[in-house]
Structure formats: C-alpha cells, structure tokens
Amino acid sequence: MNHFQYKDGVLCAEDVSLAAIAKEVGTPFYCYSSATLERHYKVFSQSLPKDSLVAFSVKANGNLAVLKTLAAMGAGADVVSGGELKKALAAGIAAEKIVFSGVGKTKTEMALALKSGIFQFNVESEPELFALNDVAASLGVKAPIAFRVNPDVDALTHAKISTGHSETKFGVPWAKVEEAYAAAAKLPNIDVCGIDVHIGSQITDLAPFAAAFDRITALTKSLRAAGHTISRIDVGGGLGVPYRNDNVPPPDPAAYGALAAKVVKETGAQMIFEPGRVIVANAGVLVTRVIYAKSGEDKNFLIVDAGMNDLIRPAMYDAYHEIVAVKAPAADAPWSRYDVVGPVCETSDIFGADRALPVLKSDDLVAILAAGAYGAVMASAYNARPLAPEVLVKGDEWAVVRPRMDDDALYASDRIPAWIG
C-alpha cells in the first residue's frame, strides 16, 4: 500500500502531480510520501509487542525531514556511524532511543555515542568490546551493550545483503558467544543488557526469522542460566517489501509480530526492532526524464537522465524496480519493450531490461518505484553528476528537503597542490 497513484491522468504523490514537481525542480529527483511513511511506521509498530523500541535504520534513508517525520511518530534510530548518530540527534530523536550497530566502530565514534547517552551499543567482536570498555573508562561511564550474535541461518536473500550465516564478517560467531559474554561480565565499564541479531535484508520468507528467533530465545535462557542479564532482545531489521507487482508478497508485519510475541512470551525481554526498507522503500520514487528513445539492432532503449550514481540498487544487487510512465497511458496507446538505462558509462547502468511501457519519446517522464530505501543515501556524484534533490509530499503540499547539488560543488573542494601551481 502506498500513496503513488494516477489522478487525472498523471502519477501523483498523494495529491501532488509528479509532473508538476518535475517542472519546478527538474529531473531526476527523489520524491517521498509522508502518508506512506506514516502508514508503514504505524502498521509495523502496531504489530509488535508493546514496550518495544522501533529504531528506524538511518542507513536506509537519512534525510532529516524523513527522520523527523518518523521521530514525530515515536521512532528511535539505529545508526551505523558517528555521522548517522549526529543526524539522528539533529532530527530530534532522543539518545535513549538510539542503538549503535556496525562492525567497525571507531573510538571517536564510541566516545561521541557515550557522551550522547545512547540506549545501546550492538557489539560485534571482542576487540570492539575491549575498545569500548577503554573509552567508557576514560569518560567515567558504563557502556550498555548487546552482542550481535551470528546465528548461522541463511536469510534466503541476495548474497550481498545476507549477514547471518557463519561466513560473513558480521556478529560474534555462534561458537564464541558464551566466551564473549563471559569476557564482558569481567569488564568494569561494560553493562551487559541484551542480545542482538540481524540476519540480512529484503527477507521475504518468515522461516529464517523464525529460525533466528528460536536460536535467540534458547540463547537468552542459557546466558541467563550463566548469570548474565539479558533484559533486551534486538532482532535487527530485514523484513522485505514487494518490489515486483507479480511476486508473492512478503510476509505481513502481523505475522512477523506474532513471531516476536512468542519471543516475549518465552523470555519477558524488551524487544528492539531496526526496520529500514519496510518503512521507506515504497514511500519513495525516483522520477527521471527520457533523454533519448534509441532503437538498437534487436532492442529499444530508453536513455533516462537518472543513472546508477542516483540509484545503485539494480547495478549492485540485481534489484528489480517497477518502472512506469508518469503520464497515464491512454487505453489505446501503443506499447513497446525497452531497456531503461542511464547515461553513465557502465554497462551495469541499467534500471530495467525488456520492460513493457507505453511508447515514450524524449522529454517524457518515468518513475522508478519503491526507491525510498537505499536510494538517495547510496547516491554518488560519479561521472561528475550532481546528487539529485529530494522532495517530501504531504497531502497537497510539497517541499524540497534537499536541493540538487550545485555543479560548482562537484569540484569546489578539490585542492591543487603547490607543485602543480
């Protein structure tokens, strides 16, 4: 369910025409719907055990206006860098609702997080544990931690976003978990609070979650028996979204919530969730303009003004995104099949192969759907292409929430060393 629908023959975000926005801000641009963000947050959080902390994964979409929209609904934040921590705080998210994940936290980042008073560090290794203890000692505080454990389950998702089997860099290996907790218990500036797990992203089958939750429930019991305090269980993010219209839809949040309820029933722990994609993916589109419609030998190409630098998911994860014309096709419109490609000099700069679309020509607009997660945040200025703007819609209002990068900014911070002159 999202709020990008055709109205009066044009694709709209809520009550605003995407063509009208394109006219004012140019293309390409990202557009987010507040109503969709709010709806997804509500449906997700309402299906969870009460007293849960929903810590939105800032890496999925870090625009301050998006963060503030979610913060107003009660969301906390899951951050993976000092920069994301600063963003979350700048968006008004209380430190007591922030968890800090990531396999390579630096001491500088740890100090920033400790001084801010965040809720929890999700620690991924013993070296990180010792570093955190040192930093906390130097500040005269205790660091609240959960170990991110690697439950060795296969998330049945794309290899590049699968993080919970034993061969990834993530988490404390299952066989070493008890050792890690025993080491933590001996450290004066570490406060062990819980367990954390995150098995991957775009998971469309509940079975891997069920397997991971069962392992965590059992682990909670054995760690408690060994004398550790496990009052929180953080189950990470990872719930998938429907990218393709014709696919079996991913599990609904209610079914996922039922699995979480079972964990609470058996452990009594407070649960923490770190959803990213499930909240923002379908709340955003990337609008782009056809530069040329080009006929190849066997294929037709639509060359659009967005590139893999703007949305890298297809190139990086073989991700599928629906692509639609912004102007609703007339009932008798001729259709064709196109490869929809960007202008970047890479063969992987392709948004969709062999897509059925109404016949389009230069200057027509298309929208790449479900681009709200891991879209703008992963964009780069590769090929000296300025970062695309982001727009947020609410009802019949809209605002640019990040302007297009200036062309000047593409090289304004380059410096010429003296020997070049």
Ligand X SMILES: *Cc1c(COP(=O)(O)O)cnc(C)c1O
Annotated binding site for pyridoxal 5'-phosphate: 238, 274-277, 374
Residue 258 dihedral angles phi and psi, to the nearest 5°: -65, -35
Which has the closest alpha carbon to 212: 272, 159, 278, 259?
259
Q: Which of 276, 342, 352, 389 binds ligand X (CB under 6 A)?
A: 276
Q: Nearest distance from residue 398's CB to ligand X, in Å?
A: 25
Q: Which of 78, 84, 364, 390 binds ligand X (CB under 6 A)?
A: 78
User: In terms of CB distance, is 25 or 85 closer to ligand X?
Assistant: 85
**How many residues line the site for ligand X (CB under 6 A)?**
17
Q: Could you tell me the two tokens for 33?
A: 């719907």
Q: Which of 40, 228, 277, 355 binds ligand X (CB under 6 A)?
A: 277
Q: Nearest distance from residue 138's CB to ligand X, in Å?
A: 26
Of the candidate spans 104-112, 133-141, 176-184, 237-245, the one that interacts with ligand X by CB under 6 A turns out to be 237-245
Question: How buried is residue 406: exposed, middle or buried, by Cβ count under 10 Å (0-12/13-18/19+)?
Answer: exposed
User: In terms of CB distance, is 56 or 338 closer to ligand X?
Assistant: 56
Per-position x/- string for 197-236, each x denoting binding to ligand X as judged by CB under 6 A, each - no binding: -x--x----------------------------------x
CA 274 to chain centre: 10
Per-position x/- string for 29-58, each x denoting binding to ligand X as judged by CB under 6 A, each - no binding: ----------------------------x-
Q: Nearest distance from residue 67's CB to ligand X, in Å?
A: 14
Q: How far apart are CA 196 and CA 273, in angstroms?
A: 10
The DSSP 8-state label assigned to residue 388 in this structure reads: P
Q: Which of 3, 59, 327, 394 binds ligand X (CB under 6 A)?
A: 59
Q: Nearest distance from residue 299's CB to ligand X, in Å?
A: 33
User: In terms of CB distance, is 11 or 203 closer to ligand X?
Assistant: 203
Where helices occur in 293-417 by DSSP H, the ranges are: 313-317
User: In terms of CB distance, is 62 or 342 closer to ligand X?
Assistant: 62
Q: How far apart are CA 364 and CA 206, in angstroms?
A: 40
Which has the closest alpha carbon to 240: 271, 270, 191, 201?
201
Q: How far apart are CA 7 and CA 35, in angstroms?
A: 16
Q: Nearest distance from residue 22's CB to ligand X, in Å?
A: 28
The DSSP 8-state label assigned to residue 297 in this structure reads: S
> What SS3 state is found at 405?
coil
Q: Nearest distance from residue 236's CB to ligand X, in Å?
A: 4
Q: From the annotation, which residues make up the binding site for substrate?
A: 277, 313, 317, 346, 374
Determine if the peptide bond prior to 417 is cis (ω within 30°).
no
Which has the closest alpha carbon to 386: 405, 369, 399, 403?
405
Q: Nearest distance from residue 146's CB to ligand X, in Å?
A: 11
Told to check if 150 binds ligand X by CB under 6 A, we report no
> What SS3 state is found at 164?
coil
Q: How far apart are CA 278 and CA 366, in angstroms?
A: 23
Q: Which of 62, 238, 352, 389 binds ligand X (CB under 6 A)?
A: 238
Of the candidate spans 109-117, 275-283, 287-295, 329-337, the one that interacts with ligand X by CB under 6 A turns out to be 275-283
* Residue positions annotated with a catalytic role: 345
Per-position x/- string for 185-204, each x denoting binding to ligand X as judged by CB under 6 A, each - no binding: -------------x--x---
Q: How far apart are CA 234 and CA 271, in angstroms?
A: 6
Q: How far apart are CA 257 and CA 53, in angstroms?
A: 13
User: Which residues in the 95-134 window bind ligand X by CB under 6 A?
Assistant: 101
Q: Could you tell me the two tokens for 174?
A: 């299952």
Q: How many residues does the chain have?
A: 421
Q: Which of 60, 113, 286, 392 binds ligand X (CB under 6 A)?
A: 60
Which has the closest alpha carbon to 291: 283, 278, 302, 300?
302
User: In terms of CB distance, is 135 or 239 closer to ligand X?
Assistant: 239
CA 66 to chain centre: 12
> What SS3 state is found at 348?
coil
Of the candidate spans 62-70, 139-147, 251-259, 274-282, the one that interacts with ligand X by CB under 6 A turns out to be 274-282
Per-position x/- string for 278-317, each x denoting binding to ligand X as judged by CB under 6 A, each - no binding: x---------------------------------------
> What SS3 state is found at 193?
strand
Beta bridge partners of 366: 288, 325
Q: Which residues bind ligand X (CB under 6 A)?
A: 57, 59-60, 78, 101, 198, 201, 236-239, 274-278, 373
